[in-house]
Amino acid sequence: MIEAHALIKRYGDRRAVDELSFIVKPGQVTGFLGPNGAGKSTTMRMIVGLDRPTAGTVTVAGRPYREHTAPLCQVGALLEATAVHRGRTARNHLLALAQTHGISSRRVDEVLGLVGLADVARRRAGGFSLGMGQRLGIAAALLGDPAVVILDEPVNGLDPDGVRWLRDLLKGLATEGRTVLVSSHLMSEMAVTAEHLVIIGRGRLLADTTVSDLIDRVGVGSVLVRSPNGADLRDLLVRHGAEVTGVEPGLFQAAGLDAATIGDLALAGGLAVHELTPRRASLEDAYLELTREAVEYR
Ligand code: ADP
């Protein structure tokens, strides 16, 4: 469990993190989302004690990160994939970390296998691709078999195979009862990986909810309408407040009215309808709607 309470981080006169409170629960993957500059990395650094909050508190497994005597065994974090000694082999990098916590070399080989780096374990990390670097960072995070795993943009640099592997790994870690917090800007990936979302903008909490609740709440769903009287039906719907975007003359998307209302209006207007298909908003639609105000750079 991660608990942030009224967390504030100020840089100069600017609040990068502004009164942020949230709880990340075990047993599920929680996605940590927000536009660039929203304060995600700053928050993650405060969780693992790399940055000191200006005010407020954040605890991991019940206490501040710094107060854990064997932090690697409580919290595994990947915050910066390039933070490795470039001259060391992957295995030696992990062995050096393991020795600080009395972790066995057997566990080092185990996590190398788990992240798919067993074959390149004796190659220097400096020559690794971004994707291999991410895998090494994830291996380091898992080294101490921690109950809490925090990964900042772990999908970056992974190929489609790697993306799927990571998705299964994260879900597996959550199923084992661990607390998993992952930041990402890839909404389509978060939609299939995370169950819960913490979304921030300009350092403030915008949503702390499940993926499906967010989509329902912010819901900007639309209806695909097919009609041989396309132009007339379009005009009619627009007059009733729909926002219409065209696909082709007899086929368009209408937002702002549900399928039943559209069908009733068409009937009353004597216009034929050949198809009405409600389309649920995607996580990306809901996210963009929610964060519209909070985007730092447009
Ligand atoms: P995110 O990870 O969501 O993109 P960050 O946490 O990196 O956002 O940054 C949040 C805000 O804090 C940004 O406006 C950023 O410029 C600022 N910031 C981050 N780190 C520092 C720092 N060390 N000094 C000054 N400003 C910083």
Structural domains of the chain ordered from first start: 2-216 (3.40.50.300), 220-280 (3.30.70.980)
Mean of the pLDDT values across residues 248-272?
Answer: 93
Which atom of ligand 1 is found nearest the CA of 42?
6
* Mean pLDDT, residues 218-231: 87
Q: Is the pLDDT score of 39 beyond 90?
A: yes
Tokens standing for residue 221: 């769903």
Is the C-beta atom of 11 inside 6 A of ligand 1?
A: yes
Question: How many residues comprise the chain?
Answer: 298
- CB neighbour class for 242 (10 Å; exposed up to 12, middle 13-18, buried from 19): buried
Confirm or reject: Cβ of 115 under 6 Å from ligand 1. no
Q: pTM value?
A: 0.84
Q: How confident is the model at residue 298 (pLDDT cuts 50, 70, 90)?
A: very low
Residue nearest to ligand 1 atom 17, measured at CA? 16
Q: Report CA 39 to chain centroid distance, whole Å.
A: 13
**Among protein residues, the one whose CA lies closest to atom 12 of ligand 1:** 16
Is 77 near ligand 1, meaning CB less than 6 Å away? Answer: no
Residue 199 CB–ligand 1 contact under 6 Å? no
Residue identified by tokens 């390149």 is 120
Q: Specify the residue with its C-alpha closest to ligand 1, atom 21.
A: 11
From CA 156, how far away is CA 152, in angstroms rounded?
9
pLDDT value of residue 219: 63
The percentage of the chain sitting over the pLDDT mark of 90, rounded to a whole number, equals 69
Measured in Å, residue 20 CA sits from the centre of ligand 1 at 15
- Residue 70 has a pLDDT of 83
pLDDT, residue 119, reads: 92
Mutate to test the pocket of ligand 1, among 11, 150, 204, 287 (most ligand atoms within 8 A of CB): 11
Task: List residues bridging with 14 in a β-sheet.
Answer: 11
Provide the pLDDT confidence category of residue 265 given band limits of 50, 70 and 90.
very high
pLDDT higher for 232 or 188? 232
Q: Looking at residue 294, what is its pLDDT?
A: 67
